[in-house]
Amino acid sequence: MKGGIGLDIKRAKQIMESDGVITVHYGESPVWIEQIHEQEASAEITDLETEERLVVPVDLLSEDNPGVH
């Protein structure tokens, strides 16, 4: 996992709703969070390199600079 620790639902929602661009990775790939599925603790993401859409566990997503919000 690149950059930091896995995200939780609350932080994933903050990132998704943010007006700024916050770099998030799924493994080594930069991704865009499209939607959060709270009950399943998962997120629908788009891989920015391949444009593939996936549904993945939120805790497998990582933020580049988790201490800077």
16-36 pLDDT tens trace: 999 998 999 999 999 999 999
Query: Considering its fold, how many domains does the chain have in total?
Result: 1
Query: Which domain CATH number covers 24?
Result: 2.30.30
19 located within any domain: yes
Q: Is the alpha carbon torsion for 56, 45, 50, 21 positive or negative?
A: negative
Distances (CA, A) of 37 to 29, 34, 63, 67, 69: 21, 10, 18, 24, 22
In the prediction, which pLDDT does 5 show?
73
pTM for the predicted model, two decimal places: 0.84
